[in-house]
Amino acid sequence: MRKTVLTITLNPSVDKSSSVENIIPEKKLRCSTPVYEAGGGGINVSRGLKRLGIPSEALFTCGGKAGTLLESLVDAEGPVTVPISVHAETRENFTVTDTSNNRQYRFVFPGETLAEEEQKHLLNLLHAKTPFPDFAVISGSLPPGTDPDFVRQIIRICSSKGSTLIADTSGNALQAALEEGIFLVKPNIGELATLAGKDHLEAPDIDRAAQQLISEGKAELVVVSLGSKGAVLFSKDEKIQLEAPPVQVRSTVGAGDSMVAGMVSVLMRGGNSEEILLKGIACGTATTMVKGTGLFTKKNAEHLFALMQQARQEPQ
C-alpha cells in the first residue's frame, strides 16, 4: 500500500510577490503585476510534494476573503485540501524584488489568534481521521497568542495514530514539539543555538547540540540547515554534511519548506540518510532559482540531485 502524508499549517498566508526597479523611500513605486500564491510551511511542503509526484493532504486554517483565496490557490496546486474555517482573516505576506540589484524585501505579517473552539475543532478532526496518514508534517509558525501546548496535543494525536512526525517550526512551538519527541526536525543554526541555550554555535557546538537532541530522545534525525552552504544531517550513528550546488539565486522564499518536501519524498519510499539530505538540498536549492514566491520545478530539482550524487561518487 502506498504511504500517505498529511501537512499541518496553523498560520498560513496568501503570498503576494512583485518587482520594481529602484526602491526609493517616499517615492511612488510602480510595481509589476502581483503574483498570488498559497503560503505557509505545511502548504508549501504539500506544493513541493506535488511537484515530485507525491500526493498529500494539506490541513490548514483559513478565514475571510483572503482565506477563500488561499483555499482556491491550494486547490489549484493539486493537494487534497482539509481547510478549517476560522473567524479571523487569513494573513497576507508581501515580497518585492528590486530589479536594479536583485535584492529581495520580505514583509511578513503575524496573523490572528486561533480561538479555543477552533483549536478544539482541529484536534477533534485529527482524532476522527481514519485511516491516518503514515507521515505528518507540522511546519510554519504558530498564530500569535497560541499556547505551545496546542502543538503538543497535535503531536500526541498523530503519534497515537502511528504517524511519523516531522517538524519545521521555531521558538516555543519547536521546543514543544521536541519535548513530545518527533522523528525528524530541521532547525537552522540560530534555532539550534536557542535550543542549546546559547547565542551562537561554532562547528563543534553544532555537533554537540544536535547529538544532545538525539541522545535525549527528542528526535531521531536532526537536519541543520546551513543556508547557501548546504546542510548537515545527524542520526545516532551518522553525520553527513553536504554543500549546496552553486546556482543563480533569485529568491529564498520557500526554500526551507522545499527542503522538507524533498526529504519527506525520500522517507516515504524508505531511502537512506544520504538520499534524504541530497534530495532535501536539491529541492531547497532549486527553489532559490525561482523568482518571487514560486517553488522549484521537478526538472531543476532532479538535475541538481543528479549533480550532487555524481559529485559524491567521484574520487576526492
For residues 251-290, one letter each, b for 16 or more C-beta atoms within 10 angstroms of the residue's C-beta and e for the rest, the string is: bebbbbbbbbbbbbbbbbeeeebbbbbbbbbbbbbbbbbb
Answer whether 151's CB lies under 8 Å from 142's CB: yes
- Tell me which residue has cell 526597479: 21
Pairing of strands 91-98, 103-107: antiparallel
Cα 50 from chain centroid (whole Å)? 14
Strand partners, 106: 95
Q: What is the dihedral of CA 8, 10, 80, 62, to 10 degrees?
A: 170
> Which residues are marked as active site?
257
- Tell me which residue has cell 478544539: 120
Walk across the sheet containing 80-85 and list its strands: 80-85, 57-62, 5-9, 135-139, 164-168, 182-185, 219-225, 231-234, 239-242
In angstroms, the first-to-last Cα distance of the chain is: 40
**Which residues, 6 or more positions from 195, have their beta carbon under 8 angstroms from its beta carbon?**
174, 175, 178, 187, 209, 213
Answer whether 231's CB lies under 8 Å from 142's CB: no
Q: Give CA–CA dist 313/221, Å, rounded.
A: 24
